[in-house]
Amino acid sequence: MIKYVLWDIDGTLLNFHLAEENAIRACFDQYGLGDLSDDRLGVYRKINNKYWKALERGEITRIEVLEGRFREFFEKYGYNTEIVSDFNISFQENLGKTYVFNDKAYETLSKLSGKYKQYAATNGSAIAQEGKLKGAGLDTIFEDVFISEKIGFEKPSKEFFDYIFDTVGSREKSEYVIIGDSLTSDIRGGRNAGIKTIWFNPDRLEKDKDNDFDYEVDSLEQVLDIL
């Protein structure tokens, strides 16, 4: 029987694309880099995604993700690469200031509250996640928050989930479920850990034969019917 619900944050409960766009545009203003076109924002997102996927595969470190993505992006368009480190810190801070719930996210969390113990399980940076969780009021809903940067392991690694099991105090895998939008991070991680998985797929993307899941939903309120 499910007792513990692990929630991904960015892209699942919160609208990450909106927060990301607001944060990077604010940083462009802060550092006098001019206007950021939609085309260049799209290029940055592709670069960013490439770095995070490499981190999930264990090919690079977290700092290589956070700074490397901006360094590559800056080099491509001739921006000053000497500000990359400071730019990244400002970006994390700005990410933590924008929090918009995805449709039915808060309502679903509220309805599950008291019936299950709910936790955040995220690969996002500590600065950004702690800011948005507090600002959005999620810190009052979650029993605990598991941030990979603090744990020292990333989703989908087994070690990330072992840390959660030890902290929660139960290694009974049948008592856990993870809900997330990433097949390669949330779902693969849950499968690696041996727990139930719910893939949040609001855009109805094609299934990936390499990343199986137990349930699929395109609206978070459907989680209520599953649990």
* Identity of the residue numbered 25: R
Residue 144 among the catalytic residues: no
* Nearest C-alpha neighbor of 95 from the set 67, 65, 124: 124
Neighbours of 155 (CB within 10 A): 28
Closest CA to 124 of 103, 147, 98, 91: 147
138 vs 100: CA distance, rounded Å: 12
Strands of the 215-217 sheet, one edge to the other: 144-147, 117-122, 4-7, 176-180, 196-200, 215-217
Q: Which two tokens stand for residue 37?
A: 């076109």
Active-site entry in 8, 10, 181, 186: 8
Residue with tokens 């699942």: 12
Query: What residues are annotated to the active site?
Result: 8
